[in-house]
């Protein structure tokens, strides 16, 4: 009996087509769920060890679809952890040297190195733009741990976000702009919408795309699986405290650094 595995992130069930005597093919659904794999808190060291083992199997079975599919799943999980694509050369480094010192900034395809600090007058310096990695603007909370490792940038506390309420807020061309009229500095927030997860196993739901919903660094005091957020919308109020969101939800990220 031969198996051919297929994985599709848009259809999170992984299934196998298998042949029986007489050439009859049936579809057999396996007990893997892509969402459960993503949320299972893998460590990069563990995944690198798996890649090393897969490489040995590829040498022995160079054209095996099952091995290739499994390698793709492991690679996707590493990309998920770091929040974006990793260069092929870094994958080779990971396999040959093991994971040490974190993902280097030059290995992450994103704008972390391009962010500029803005002193609008709050107690912290704000990034002039949203975090973007691999053309992606929405992130789970856990992805940020690896993206921001060894970086001066960090998530803001809600108390720091709330300081923006001291400044004038305007809605222009769908963007929210906070301006300090005393020093002329301003910050622009871009609504990317958000996707929230109710529980670990629930289907995600799309939030309105004209709202900024962003992560803070504040973990809920009631359940560390939930993180406090902030929201900015078209109302007259500046920044409001958003509800705590499950850490696997996808929200915008605006970073700060200490003065």
125 neighbors 107 (Cβ within 8 angstroms): no
Domain residue ranges of the chain, discontinuous segments joined by +: 3-97, 114-258
Give tens-digit pLDDT for 127-177.
999 999 877 899 999 888 878 877 889 999 999 999 999 999 998 888 999
What is the distance between the alpha carbons of residues 15 and 139, in angstroms, rounded to a whole number? 28
Alpha-carbon Rg for the chain, nearest whole angstrom, is 22
pLDDT attached to residue 142:
87
d(CA 88, CA 105): 14
Strands (E), the chain: 3-8, 11-19, 25-33, 117-118, 124-127, 168-172, 175-179, 186-189, 195-196, 205-206, 212-219, 226-232, 240-246, 256-258
Mean pLDDT of 100-127: 77
Rounded distance between C-alpha atoms, residue 67 and residue 62, angstroms: 9
Give the C-alpha separation, 147 to 15, whole Å: 32
As given in the structure block, the two tokens for residue 187 are: 């910050």
CA nearest to 57, candidates 78, 74, 43, 34: 74
pLDDT category of residue 34 using cuts at 50, 70 and 90:
very low
Q: How many residues does the chain have?
A: 259
β-strands 3-8, 168-172 pairing: unpaired
Interval 20-36 mean pLDDT: 39
79-88 pLDDT per residue, tens: 666 555 555 5
Distance CA 50, CA 69 (A): 13
Closest among 134, 208, 204, 216 to 174, alpha carbons compared: 208
- What tokens were used for 75? 């690679």
Closest CA to 132 of 142, 147, 118: 147
Alpha helix positions (H), 33-167 = 34-38, 44-60, 65-82, 88-97, 141-147, 158-162
With contact defined as beta carbons under 8 Å apart, do 187 and 163 qualify? no
Which of 26, 38, 31, 35 lies closest to 14 in space, CA to CA?
31
pLDDT (average), residues 4-16: 36
pTM metric for this prediction: 0.59
- Per-residue pLDDT band for 243 (boundaries 50, 70, 90) equals confident
- In this model, does residue 69 exceed pLDDT 70? yes
């Amino acid at each position: 009996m031969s198996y051919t595995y297929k994985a599709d992130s848009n259809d999170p069930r992984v299934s196998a087509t298998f042949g029986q005597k007489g050439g009859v093919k049936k579809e057999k659904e396996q007990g893997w769920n892509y969402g459960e794999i993503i949320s299972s808190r893998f460590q990069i060291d563990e995944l690198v060890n798996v890649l090393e083992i897969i490489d040995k199997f590829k040498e022995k079975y160079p054209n095996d679809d099952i091995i290739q599919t499994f390698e793709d799943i492991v690679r996707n999980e590493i990309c998920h952890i770091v929040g974006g694509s990793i260069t092929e050369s870094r994958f080779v480094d990971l396999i040959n040297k093991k994971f040490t010192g974190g993902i280097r900034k030059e290995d992450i395809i994103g704008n972390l190195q391009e962010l500029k600090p803005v002193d609008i007058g709050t107690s912290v310096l704000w990034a002039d733009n949203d975090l973007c990695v691999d053309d992606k603007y929405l992130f789970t909370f856990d992805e940020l741990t690896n993206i921001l490792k060894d970086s001066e940038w960090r998530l803001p506390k809600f108390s720091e976000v709330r300081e923006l309420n001291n400044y004038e807020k305007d809605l222009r061309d769908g963007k929210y702009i906070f301006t300090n009229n005393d020093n002329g500095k301003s910050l622009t927030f871009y609504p990317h919408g958000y996707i929230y997860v109710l529980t670990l196993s629930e289907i995600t739901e799309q939030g309105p795309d004209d709202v900024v919903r962003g992560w803070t660094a504040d973990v809920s005091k009631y359940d560390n699986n939930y993180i406090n957020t902030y929201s900015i919308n078209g109302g007259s109020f500046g920044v409001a405290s958003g509800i705590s969101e499950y850490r696997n939800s996808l929200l915008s990220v605006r970073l700060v650094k200490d003065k």
